[in-house]
Amino acid sequence: MKTLINQYSQLVTSKTCYAVMASFLSLALAGCGDAASDNGQVVNTVELPTDAFTSLYCPDEGVGEESCVLFNPVNPYARSAINGVTKWDLANEAPSSKSRFYLWATAHARDAQGENQFYAADSLHAIFRDEGSILARDQAKRAYRVVLDDFFGSVTFTGPVNAQTANLLRNWTADRFVSPGNAGLPQLYDSQSEALQALDEWGYLYDANTATISRKIN
């Protein structure tokens, strides 16, 4: 089981500091301490969860504007310094889908954006794959819907830094509904037709020829 080392400091600077050493992930919570002194710094060790996903801290945890994940006592990232750079390294180091859910839900609670919401949903989807958790499955559906409803134009980037490609998250979300096997994930519904029906009821049309989704026109 991996461990997150939370570092508290009375001296807050603008630079985020973190390092990976063996099975330990060091993460600055309030910021790095004075380079010349470690005075006022306290180090706590928190285990990253690999156990089963059995409950939500509040009904909307990880969904939309709800920030209760920041107060969840089992969330190891609740006081971590997460930004647009560190979240990717932390996600790669996370030992379980449950850990990744807490990471992305925390990132979204602090910076509501389509990318964070999509990966929170994707992590819940992965929990459903790993554990068969109906709770995770149903919460994944709700989180994916928020990507469509609130972040329809949001993108995420893939590829090398000097040649990145922008990917519309609405189409990735549609793929998770219609053809989740492309990402190694199971169907969230009993059948593909039920998934398409759900998207239709939410006000979206999926084009199988282009694998894209659009809003229905009233």
* Rg of the Cα atoms in the chain: 19
pLDDT at 127: 98
Q: What is the pLDDT of residue 40?
A: 55
- As a whole number of angstroms, the distance between CA 52 and CA 188 comes to 19
Count of other CB atoms within 10 angstroms of residue 74: 13
Residue 63's pLDDT is what? 98
What is the residue-averaged pLDDT of the chain?
84
Residue 196 has pLDDT above 60, yes or no: yes
- State yes or no: pLDDT of 3 exceeds 60: no
Query: How far apart (Å, rounded) are the C-alpha atoms in residues 86 and 67?
Result: 20
What's the confidence (pLDDT) of residue 151?
98
CB-based contact 196:208 (threshold 8 Å)? no
Least confident of 12-16, 66-70, 163-167, 175-179: 12-16
> Three-class SS of residue 166?
strand
Compute the distance between CA of residue 201 and CA of residue 140 in angstroms, rounded to an integer. 17
Rounded distance between C-alpha atoms, residue 104 and residue 140, angstroms: 13
Residue 24's pLDDT is: 39
Tokens of 146: 């928020």
How does pLDDT run across 93-146, given as a tens digit for each residue?
999 999 999 999 999 999 999 999 999 999 999 999 999 999 999 999 999 999
Helices (H) and strands (E) in the chain, counts: 6, 8
